[in-house]
A and B are shown apart, each in its own frame.
Chain A
Amino acid sequence: MAEILLETEGGDLDSVPMNVQMGPSHPAMHGTIKMRLRLDGEIVARTDVEVGYLHRGFEKSCENVTWTQVMPYTDRLNYVSPLCNNVGYCMAVEKLLGIRATDRCEYIRMIMAETSRIGDHMTCVGASAMELGGFTAFLYAIEVREEIWRVIETVTGARLTHSYCRIGGLKDDLPPDFGASWRSIRKKIRTLIDDIHALLDKNRIFLDRMIDVGVISADRAVSYGFTGPCLRSTGVDYDVRKAAPYMKYDRMEFEVPIGSRGDNYDRYLVRMEEIEQSLRIIDQCLAQIEPGPINVDDGRLVLPEKDDVYGSIEGTIAHFKIIMEGIRVPPGEVYSYTEAGNGELGFYLVSTGEGRPYKCRVRPPCWSFMQALHEMLEGYQVADIVPTFGSVNMIGGECDR
C-alpha cells in the first residue's frame, strides 16, 4: 500500500511569503531597475520598484553647457527614438525664443520623429515577443529597425544618437534621393510588419500571456499621469498631436488608436496600429513638403554658411559668438510638450538670459508609469512580470535621466 507522504487539509501547503530581488541586471532587456518582490507561492503579493541605476545627471550637465550643446544629451534620453527628443527640445527653446521654424523644417522634423517612433514601437514589440520566447518576431522587428536606421543614417549621419535638430532649424536638409530610398524600404518594412502581425496577433501563447495581464483602469491611469500608448490602451483618448497640434500635425489625416482593457495585449495592439498611422503621416508629409529654407533667417541663432565664416569678418564673429557663448535666449520659463514614443515628453526650461540654460527639466513619460508599475504587477504571477514590464516600455535613459 502506498504511504501517504503528505497530508494537506483542503488547500495549499503551508507556505511563507518569499522575498526575492529581481534585478538590477536581469534578462528583460529594458533597462536596469530593481524590483523587490514579496511572493506568495507564484503570486506577487507586493512589489517595490527601485530605479535610479542609470541616473546620468542630465539636468546638471545641461546647466553647464550652452543651449546647443544640450542636443547630444537629449539624444540619450529616450535612446530608442532619439529624434523625438531632439524635436521636443528644439521646439521648447524656440517657444522660449518666440520663433517658429520654417515650413520645410517642420515637415522634415515630423518625418524624422515619426520614423523614430516606428523604430521605438518595433523595438518594444520585438523585445516583448522575445521575452515570451518568440525570437523570430524579435529578429523581424530588429530588421525593420535596421532598415529605418539605414535611411536615417543617410539623412542625419548617425544610426542612433543623431543630434539632428538645431535651434531654429536642422543640421542639414534631406538628401535628394530621400523619397526614393524611403519608398524602397517601405515595401520591405510592410512585409516584415505583416509577418510580425501574422506571428503574434492570433498566437495562442502570446494571447494567453498578454490578455488580461497587467491591467490598469482608465481612472487610475489618468490620476497617475499616464500618457501615450499606455494611457490610450485603457480607453482614454489623449494624444498631444490631436489635443494640441504642433508643427504641421493639424494638416495631417491620421487616427489615434484607443484600447479598452488596459492590459498588455491592448498596449501591443495600440503600438502596432500607431506604426500604421505613422507610415500614413510620413507619406502625407512627403506629399506636402515644398522646397525652401530649413533654418530661420536669424543670424543670432543659426550658424552662418561656411563661405561667410571664412570670407567675411561678420560671419566669423557670428560663428564665434554662437559657438563659444551660446545662443542668447531671453529670460523666462516655458513648458513645451510633444508626443514622443512613450507619451507626453515635456521640457520645462528656465532661462536667465545667458547662453546656458538655468534649468532644463525633462518630464519623462515613463516616470509616471513606473510609479504605477507595482499596481500592474501585484496580484499576478511572477511570470507575468516580464511581459508587463516589457509592454510598458520603460527606457532607462528617459526614466532615470
Chain B
Amino acid sequence: MGLESNLTGTFVGTRLSDALNWARKYSLFQYPFVTACCGMEFMSAACSHYDISRFGAEIPRFSPRQADLLFVVGTVSHKLAPVLRKVYDQMCDPKWVVSFGACASSGGFYDNYCTVQGIDTIIPVDVYIPGCPPRPEQVLDALMMLQEKIQREPLEKQA
C-alpha cells in the first residue's frame, strides 16, 4: 500500500487470482443447451430489451470447446442426458454450469418416467435459477451471482 501511494496513478496492485477472475467473469462465453420453453426466456434475456451483453455474456459459442459457461435451459429427458454429459465433458476448464428453469433444476412438474429430476444428478451445477420460466431479470440476477462466485475463486481451482 505504501509503495502505491508514492507512485499514484501509474499502476494498480492486486492479486493474480483477482485479476484473472475479473477477466473471466466479465467475458463469459455461454453454451446455450436449449431444449424447451425456457429457451424463449433465454432469447428474451439475450435480446435488446433485457440485454445480457451488458454483463459481458453476450456471444453464444456453439462449440463446447470454445465455451466456458454451460446454460442448461429447459427440461432434460433421460434420452438427452448422455448428450448433456458429453457436452459438459468436452468443455475445457475452468467451466461453470447454470441450471436455467425449474425443469433443469429439479425436473419441474414432470415427475415421470422420462424426465431427469434435476441435472445435478448428472453434472455439477453452480447456480440454479428457479421459475417456470424464470423472468429475464432473474436470469440476469443469476448471472451476477455467478460472477460474484467466479470472483471469489481461489487460484488453485484454475487449471
Contacts and interface: CB of A to CB of B under 8 A. Distances in A.
Chains A and B come from one and the same complex: yes
Given A79-B37, A79-B40, A52 B79 contact: yes
A24 interface: yes
Interface string B122-151: 000000000011010000000000000000
Given A142-B48, A143-B48, A159-B41, A79 B112 contact: no
Given A31-B35, A143-B49, A397-B37, A55 B79 contact: yes
B99 to A, nearest CB: 15
B80 A56 contact: no
Contacts of B43: 29, 123, 142
Interface of B: 32-37, 39-41, 43-44, 47-49, 60, 62, 74-75, 77, 79-80, 83-84, 87, 109-110, 112-115, 132-133, 135
B114 A56 contact: yes
A123 B109 CA distance: 26
A153 to B, nearest CB: 10
Interface residues of A, number: 33
B114 A25 contact: no
27 contacts: A24-B80, A25-B84, A26-B62, A29-B43, A31-B36, A32-B35, A54-B74, A54-B75, A55-B79, A56-B36, A56-B110, A56-B115, A60-B113, A75-B37, A79-B40, A80-B40, A123-B40, A139-B47, A139-B48, A142-B43, A142-B44, A143-B49, A145-B44, A159-B44, A159-B133, A160-B37, A161-B133
A79 B84 CA distance: 22
A145 B115 CA distance: 29
A160 B40 contact: yes
A56 B48 CA distance: 31
A53 B116 CA distance: 12
B36 A54 contact: yes
> What are the 4 tightest A-B residue pairs by CB atom distance, in nearest-first order?
A79-B37, A57-B112, A142-B47, A27-B62
Interface of A: 24-27, 29, 31-32, 52-57, 60-61, 72, 75-76, 79-80, 123, 138-139, 142-143, 145-146, 149, 159-161, 396-397
Nearest to B103: A56
B112 A60 contact: yes
B75 A56 contact: yes
Contacts of B62: 26-27
Contacts of B75: 54, 56
Given A54-B77, A159-B41, A159-B135, A61 B112 contact: yes
B87 A25 contact: yes
B140 to A, nearest CB: 15
B37 A76 contact: yes
A139 B133 CA distance: 20
Contacts of A25: 33, 83-84, 87
A159 B35 CA distance: 18
Contacts of A397: 36-37
A57 B114 contact: yes
A80 B43 CA distance: 12
Contacts of A145: 44
A24 B49 CA distance: 29
Contacts of A32: 35, 80
Contact of B34 (A29, A57, A146, A159): A29
B75 to A, nearest CB: 6
A145 B49 CA distance: 11
B69 to A, nearest CB: 15
A73 to B, nearest CB: 8
Nearest to A50: B79
A367 B48 CA distance: 33
A263 to B, nearest CB: 26
Contacts of A29: 32, 34, 39, 43
A56 to B, nearest CB: 5
Chain B CB count within 10 A is highest, among A31, A56, A57, A72, for: A56
A356 B79 CA distance: 28
Given A55-B79, A142-B43, A161 B37 contact: yes
